[in-house]
Amino acid sequence: MVFPMRCVSCGKDMNSREKTAVCGFCMSKIRLNPKPYCVSCGRSVDKIKKRCRQCENIAFHFKSAHAACLYEGTIKDLLHAFKYKSNLSFADILSKLMIDFVKDNRETLRGLDMITSVPLGRRRLNSRGFNQSKLLADRLSEEFSIPYVELLNKRRHTGYQSELPKLRRLSNLSNAFEALDASAAKDKRVLLIDDVMTTGATLNECSRTLLASGAREVRCLVLARGA
Ligand SMILES: [Zn+2]
Ligand SMILES: [Zn+2]
């Protein structure tokens, strides 16, 4: 693996023997998503077994969603370098945070049949060369011996969700995804992986598509939760 000589978060020069992309100080600043979580969307809440206020009146298609970290600081820098500078070694650092989260929250994986990931559109996949969410999902699949199955295809380019007002994010995605193989998810419990969750619109639309193709249940796990 090739690591940068400077910390990707603060830019500090690092000793070449430090086999990591982030300095110890920036690594120590990563905030895990604090327990307990909203039972619906995985946001940190103050009381156990509660829904957060933001999703009190939303019926998501997924059964639950969990996030390992908060989308801020070091995580934002790491993810940005991973996605836009194509430093694939970051997949190990980032997936480790997700693996540690699962080890601490075993119910996330209970009874699952397969793992899949949110697909990129062809245009973005071609320009980036890889799907960051699939790389994270591959590591989880390997670690927990749950098969990774490619289940979804993105049918059209939808632009960046983060650039749209929250209310338009859902309609922007309508019918943006399709099942690759109509029977692959039939009666299966599926874990859907993505890098970042904010409103949950992307995960929701992917979950709807998976359920429509016969999946029994969809749960979501992301690296980081936006506010
Ligand atoms: Zn640093
Ligand atoms: Zn919630």
**Residue carrying structure tokens 């949110």:** 118
Q: What is the pLDDT of residues 137-157, one digit of tens each?
A: 999 999 999 999 999 999 988
Task: Give the list of residues 6+ apart from residue 165 with CB closer than 8 angstroms, or none.
Answer: none
Ligand nearest to the CA of 26: 1
Ligand nearest to the CA of 54: 2
CA of residue 216 to ligand 2 center, whole Å: 22
CATH code, residues 31-225: 3.40.50.2020
Amino acid at 94: L
CA of residue 187 to ligand 2 center, whole Å: 26
Q: pTM to 2 decimals?
A: 0.92
Tokens of 130: 């890889």
Q: Residue 44 carries which DSSP code?
A: B
Q: Is the dihedral of CA 141, 197, 156, 179 positive or negative?
A: positive
CA of residue 116 to ligand 2 center, whole Å: 22
Query: What percent of the chain stands above pLDDT 90?
Result: 64
Q: What is the pLDDT of residue 22?
A: 87
Ligand nearest to the CA of 28: 1
Q: What is the pLDDT of residue 175?
A: 86
Is residue 159 packed enough to be buried (19+ CB in 10 Å), middle (13-18) or exposed (0-12)?
exposed
- Higher-confidence residue of 162 and 102: namely 102
Q: Where are the domains of the chain?
A: 31-225
CA of residue 20 to ligand 1 center, whole Å: 11
CA of residue 49 to ligand 1 center, whole Å: 36
CA of residue 98 to ligand 1 center, whole Å: 21
Please state the three-class secondary structure of 90-129 as a single string: HHHHHHHHHHHHHHHCHHHCCCCCEEEECCCCHHHHHHHC
Beta strands in the chain (DSSP E): 64-70, 114-117, 152-154, 177-179, 189-197, 217-225
Q: Worst-scoring range by mean pLDDT, 4-18, 111-125, 135-149, 179-193?
A: 4-18
| Protein residues within 5 Å, CB atom, of ion ligand 2 | 38, 40-41, 43, 52, 55
Q: What is the pLDDT of residues 168-187, one digit of tens each?
A: 776 778 889 999 998 999 99
Q: What is the pLDDT of residues 48-74, one digit of tens each?
A: 778 898 888 889 999 999 999 999 999
**CA-based nearest residue to 58, from 71, 70, 43, 47:** 43
